Chains A and B, each alone.
Chain A
Amino acid sequence: MSALQAHLPALQVIVPMLTAPLVILVKERRLCWAATLLASFCSLAIAISLCIDVLNGDSIRYLMGSWPAPWGIELRVDTFSALLLLIVNGSSSLALIGATASLDRDIESSRQPLFYAAWLLALAGLNGILVTADAFNIFVFMEISALASYVLISAGPNRRALPAVFKYLIMGTIGATFYLIGVGLIYLMTGTLNIADMALRIQDVADQKAILVAAGFITIGLALKAAVFPMHIWLPNAYTYAPNMVTVFLAACATKVSLYILLRIDFFVFQPNLSGHDFQFSYFLLPMSLLAILIASTVAMFEPNLKRLLAWSSVAQIGYITLGASLVSVAGLTASLLHMFNHALAKGALFLVIACLGISLSHLRIDNIAGIAKQMPWTMAAFVLAGLSLIGVPGTAGFISKWYLITATLEAGSWGPALVAIIIISSLMAVVYIWRIVEIAYFQPADEQAVVSEAPFFLLLSTWIAVALNFYFGLSAALPVELADSAARLLMGQMR
């Protein structure tokens, strides 16, 4: 067991990656689902085990092929990556528990093995980004996960998924290529690709202009991939027309992993070494975060399509995450990382509810769900509870991160109260767009002809697990808070 323990960082990627081709060979769709579920839970177990190992603040270093660090590829897991590993593997596992009924509706059974293989590759790519300490390696894993998620999204039943995924492919590739240019410029100036080594060698670079350009390329490229406003235009359609379970998986983690790369490289490599970079970083991100929060929430209030409504809400929530990061303080980063975790819980649960609705409804427009709470009481109850968490009502996970965010902005100086006002206004907007759905589902007369029945058991099970987690982490938030706080200190250089 201990021999295996040492290789956990590598296994985190290898388990889903090797299961992917096996799934194609199996061909029987239920077996494929079982194998994918098993691999995903194995991966989750590895993530939890790694998380326990790093909780005391250590980081685990693993040398691929035992080649020493700056030359060989190093894997490194610290509290920051452990937090994201929990989000990614948790949301994949949770989505897969109830996936069969929803996927049978969206994807013909002969193609399901290929679909599961793409799912595992996306998982492997996302895990790879999180464990590696090598900037070029991140690019490769980023493209693996991106290519796999294009395939996942294009499997959507509506033909509009195709133009949506094409747009995502174009913008995603431009983002990744910008990142590649940035890494190339840093390599040109420092001769290294290992992130920790980069941070050391940049200190000796006399002319910082090229490094500054690299920082620009990397920030813009990753902001594109993370759908930071106004580079979010690929996101609403891609999330809307993807198969419902894919939206659950990707909405909970894909953009957050891009933000992880941005924060890791910016705070480890650029912040300590470029003079005035903290101002550049925060004056770039702060206005875009505020615009994202206000504009995307406003659009969500008037959007008739349920999935697109929640996708716009995701754009707003990414705004909260970047707002916390743009404060460039331990408190701000803690709030930001905590919100990554809690938003994944809330939005994962809400999209699972959408998947439940999608089993019996072919059109997910807001007027199609009139009075549906009578026929689907469990589903809509889950929606109300997860909605409370998204709004940030005390007792839910969403409250914890908003509380931290407000505390952090108040410390931020004279701007603080204005930022708090914006956070509160946008929370009220969230009340409006969640309430619109609740009102129609509960208080409007139902369409008598429509034959609607409660969602299948396993889908409801995973929805309610997600809802329960929202309340569990709302009442005892010790674990995510500890992880986020330790990761924030690591990023701000207080633990090195």
Chain B
Amino acid sequence: MALLELYHYWVFVVLLMIGFYAVIAKLNLIKKLIGLSLFQAAVFLLYITMNKVEGGTAPIFTDGAVDQLYSNPLPQVLILTAIVVGISTLALGLGIVVRIKEEYDTIEEHEIQEIDRQ
């Protein structure tokens, strides 16, 4: 049961590994980038789930609220930054794939290596 209670960690690990697998095993460059995005999204989930305090509400101070339990807002702010970083990386990666397609006329890794070997 203890394992199931920590289910958000399982989601994180499984998603992380699916993404990692795609990055390593797929030969298509776009699929590699999709894997990379999944890989990063898993880490976003790790950060977002860690801020939840059991029974805690949104950290907004209201009049008369004493001993109110709040969730930690910081990880969400952090991950907002990391999402922006992830999008920039993805955009740049796709930009490079477009250039590769223009120059090599393929986006399969083994075909690119084949062309380079000639």
Q: Which A residues are within 8 Å of any B CB, using their own CB?
A: 136, 139-140, 143, 147, 150-151, 154, 159-160, 162-163, 165-166, 169-170, 173-174, 177, 180-181, 184, 187-188, 191, 193
CB atoms of A173 and B36 under 8 A apart? yes
CB atoms of A177 and B103 under 8 A apart? no
The listed residue with most B CB atoms (<10 A of its CB), out of A139, A151, A184, is A184
CB atoms of B96 and A162 under 8 A apart? yes
Residue B21 at the chain A interface, CB threshold 8 Å:
no
By a CB distance below 8 angstroms, the chain B residues around A163 are: 100, 104, 109, 112-113, 116
CB atoms of B88 and A147 under 8 A apart? yes
CB atoms of B81 and A162 under 8 A apart? no
Q: Which B residues are within 8 Å of any A CB, using their own CB?
A: 20, 23, 29, 32, 36, 39-40, 43, 46-47, 50, 72, 75, 78, 81-82, 85, 88-89, 92-93, 96-97, 99-100, 103-104, 109, 112-113, 116
CB atoms of B96 and A154 under 8 A apart? yes
CB atoms of A170 and B36 under 8 A apart? yes
Contacts A159-B103, A160-B116, A163-B116; A169 near B47 (Cβ below 8 A): no
In the complex, what residue of chain B is closest to A180 when comparing beta carbons?
Answer: B43
Q: How far is the CA of A454 from the CA of B60 in the complex (A)?
A: 69
Contacts A177-B43, A181-B43, A187-B75; A169 near B96 (Cβ below 8 A): yes
Contacts A163-B112, A169-B96, A170-B32; A136 near B78 (Cβ below 8 A): yes
By a CB distance below 8 angstroms, the chain A residues around B81 are: 136, 140
What are the 7 A-B residue pairs with the smallest beta carbon separation, nearest first? A159-B103, A143-B85, A162-B100, A188-B50, A166-B96, A163-B112, A162-B99
Q: How far is the CA of A154 from the CA of B102 in the complex (A)?
A: 14
Q: How far is the CB of B6 from chain A (nearest CB, A)?
A: 12
By a CB distance below 8 angstroms, the chain A residues around B97 are: 166
In the complex, what residue of chain A is closest to B40 when comparing beta carbons?
Answer: A177
CB atoms of A173 and B100 under 8 A apart? no
Q: How far is the CA of A139 from the CA of B84 in the complex (A)?
A: 12
CB atoms of A162 and B39 under 8 A apart? no
In the complex, what residue of chain A is closest to B37 when comparing beta carbons?
Answer: A173
In the complex, what residue of chain B is closest to A143 when comparing beta carbons?
Answer: B85
Q: How far is the CA of A139 from the CA of B78 in the complex (A)?
A: 11
In the complex, what residue of chain B is closest to A167 when comparing beta carbons?
Answer: B109
Q: Which applies to chain B's interface (DSSP): helix, strand, loop or mixed?
A: helix
CB atoms of B103 and A173 under 8 A apart? no
Q: How far is the CB of A386 from chain B (nearest CB, A)?
A: 30
Give the A-B pair count, Cβ closer than 8 A: 69
CB atoms of A159 and B85 under 8 A apart? no
CB atoms of A169 and B93 under 8 A apart? yes
CB atoms of A165 and B96 under 8 A apart? yes
Q: How far is the CA of A139 from the CA of B100 in the complex (A)?
A: 28
By a CB distance below 8 angstroms, the chain B residues around A147 are: 88-89, 92
Residue in B72, B82, B93 whose CB lies within 8 Å of A180:
B82
By a CB distance below 8 angstroms, the chain A residues around B88 are: 143, 147
Q: How far is the CA of A139 from the CA of B81 in the complex (A)?
A: 10
By a CB distance below 8 angstroms, the chain A residues around B93 are: 166, 169-170
Q: How far is the CA of A154 from the CA of B96 in the complex (A)?
A: 8
Q: How far is the CA of A247 from the CA of B104 in the complex (A)?
A: 24
Contacts A154-B99, A181-B46; A169 near B82 (Cβ below 8 A): no
In the complex, what residue of chain B is closest to A159 when comparing beta carbons?
Answer: B103
CB atoms of B103 and A166 under 8 A apart? no
CB atoms of B112 and A184 under 8 A apart? no
Q: How far is the CA of A177 from the CA of B32 in the complex (A)?
A: 15
In the complex, what residue of chain A is closest to B47 when comparing beta carbons?
Answer: A184
CB atoms of A159 and B104 under 8 A apart? yes
Q: How far is the CA of A160 from the CA of B115 in the complex (A)?
A: 10
Q: How far is the CA of A173 from the CA of B38 in the complex (A)?
A: 12
In the complex, what residue of chain A is closest to B85 when comparing beta carbons?
Answer: A143
Q: How far is the CB of A197 from chain B (nearest CB, A)?
A: 14
Q: How far is the CB of A209 from chain B (nearest CB, A)?
A: 13
Q: How far is the CA of A150 from the CA of B93 in the complex (A)?
A: 9
Q: What are some 24 contacts across the A-B interface (CB < 8 A)?
A: A136-B78, A139-B85, A140-B85, A143-B89, A150-B96, A154-B96, A160-B116, A162-B96, A163-B112, A163-B113, A165-B96, A166-B29, A166-B93, A169-B92, A170-B36, A170-B93, A173-B89, A174-B20, A174-B39, A177-B40, A180-B43, A180-B82, A181-B43, A191-B72
CB atoms of B46 and A184 under 8 A apart? yes
CB atoms of A169 and B89 under 8 A apart? yes
Q: How far is the CA of A160 from the CA of B41 in the complex (A)?
A: 30
Q: How far is the CA of A490 from the CA of B99 in the complex (A)?
A: 46
By a CB distance below 8 angstroms, the chain A residues around B36 are: 170, 173-174
CB atoms of B85 and A170 under 8 A apart? no
Q: How far is the CA of A151 from the CA of B47 in the complex (A)?
A: 29
In the complex, what residue of chain B is closest to A185 when comparing beta carbons?
Answer: B46
The listed residue with most A CB atoms (<10 A of its CB), out of B75, B81, B92, B99, is B92
